[in-house]
Structure formats: C-alpha cells, structure tokens
C-alpha cells in the first residue's frame, strides 16, 4: 500500500473513533495553555490538571504569575516531575512575554521556541490548540504510533512532524494531532497495546510482527525505546 493511500484510509477511521477530540489539559486562555503544556513534559495530563486546579484560579496572566513568584509557583507544581526547572522556565517565559510580547502568547513557531523551556512540541501544541493552526506536535504517543504504523521514516519528533503534515489529508489536519495522540494514549499503548481491538491493526507493522512472533514462539516486544530528543524538559 502506498503511504499516501495508508493516510487516506487511517484518518477517516480515527475521525470516526474520536469525533470531537480535544486537549485533556484544563485551561481558560492561551497563557494557561502554554503553562500547562510546559508542565506536561514527562508528566501526565491528569497530574498537570491536579497541580493547576488551584493555581489557575488565581493566575491567568503573565503578570499574575510573576506576582506569585518562583517559590510559590514551585510549591503549586512540586508534585510534577522536574518542578524546579519548570518553575524557573515558566517565570522566565512570563517575564519575556511581558517585556517583549505585550503579555500575549505569540502565535508563530519561531517566537514560541525562543521562550525559555519551550521546545518544538510545546510550540506546536499551542499553535494547534490555542491558535487553531494546522500543525502536529509529536509527543511520545504520536512518535510511537507513527513508528508502529510506519507513517514516517523520521528519527526525531521534528522529522516525523514534517512528514505527517505533508501527508495527512487536509480535512483532518486540524485534529490530526489529537487523533494520533488519543489513539496512542488509550489503544496503541507503550505497554500492553490493545492490538486485539485496534481499529488500525490491519495497517500496523507492530501488530503483524506480534502475530508472527507468537506463531514462531519469539517474544512479542511490548515497548520500544524512544529517542532522547523527546525525553528532555524542553519539549
């Protein structure tokens, strides 16, 4: 099957599976979204939501976060991994937003990745979710799904993102990030993937390899190594 044909078959299935996909992070504006996504590096959305539940009741702007201070911010998010580094970066980013961007979150990739602690994944999530731009952020889930379905030969998240953007049918681009992420989070999991109920099993090399290994008695791998480039605090 040609790669473009595979994309044309996969995305209608995902669109039917997730008719109204949304970010599972809680936020009320683009600044809170940016903070939440920065906090989500190497953390679950649920753990971020627990940490921001009280924080976002009083903090919705860069100025309010700066008034809170790094120490108080750390106390609010210390249940999340890399909390000290994240608190420092979020304070620095808030300061830069006030000084350079009139307290607004920039709506372009280059400005976003210039912010402390903001990498390409965070920037693309903010652009897609906050500014409704057709881009795809590659996290561990999307990296894994793309590898198993052989949607890209890329070795880094940025390479995979570029490949996906080129081949996802235009009508699915706005929601493609969430289609792939949610499929990876709930079905194509790193450990114990739900291959027996997966709607995309017929397209999946990982599933086919598992069938072959079961027949030959070889061990079916349940997890794959991920590159260091998506294991860093700056995502």
Spatial contact of 105 and 34, defined as CB atoms under 8 Å apart: yes
Write out the two tokens for 130: 């906050």
Cα 229 to Cα 210: distance, rounded to the nearest angstrom: 27
**Terminal Cα-to-Cα distance of the chain (whole angstroms):** 33
From 86, 121, 163, 175, the catalytic residue: 121
From 86, 139, 163, 175, the catalytic residue: 139
Give yes or no: 139 in active site: yes
* Residue showing tokens 């996290």: 139
Cα 123 to Cα 110: distance, rounded to the nearest angstrom: 9
Give yes or no: 121 in active site: yes
Whats the size of the chain, residue-wise? 235
Cα 130 to Cα 107: distance, rounded to the nearest angstrom: 9
Q: Which residues contact 6 (CB under 8 A, 6 or more apart)?
A: 149, 151, 203
Instruction: Give me the active site residues, please.
Output: 121, 139
């Amino acid at each position: 099957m040609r790669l473009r044909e595979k994309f044309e078959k996969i995305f209608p299935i995902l669109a039917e599976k997730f008719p109204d996909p949304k970010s599972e992070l809680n936020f009320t504006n683009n600044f809170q979204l940016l903070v939440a996504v920065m906090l989500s590096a190497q953390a679950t959305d649920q753990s971020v939501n627990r940490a921001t539940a009280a924080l976002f009741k009083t903090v919705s702007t860069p100025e309010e976060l700066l008034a809170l201070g790094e120490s108080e911010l750390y106390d609010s998010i210390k249940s999340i991994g890399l909390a000290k580094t994240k608190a420092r970066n979020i304070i620095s980013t808030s300061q830069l937003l006030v000084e350079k961007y009139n307290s607004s979150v920039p709506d372009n990739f280059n400005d976003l990745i210039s912010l402390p602690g903001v990498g390409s994944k965070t920037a693309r999530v903010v652009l897609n979710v906050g500014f409704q731009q057709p881009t795809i952020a590659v996290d561990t889930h999307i990296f894994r799904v793309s590898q198993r379905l052989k949607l890209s030969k890329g070795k880094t998240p940025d390479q995979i993102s570029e490949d996906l953007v080129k081949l996802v049918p235009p009508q699915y681009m706005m929601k493609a990030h969430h289609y792939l992420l949610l499929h990876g989070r709930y079905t194509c999991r790193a450990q114990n993937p739900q291959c027996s109920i997966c709607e995309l099993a017929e397209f999946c090399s990982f599933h086919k390899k598992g069938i072959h290994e079961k027949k030959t008695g070889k061990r079916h791998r349940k997890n794959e190594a991920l590159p260091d480039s998506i294991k860093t605090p700056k995502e």
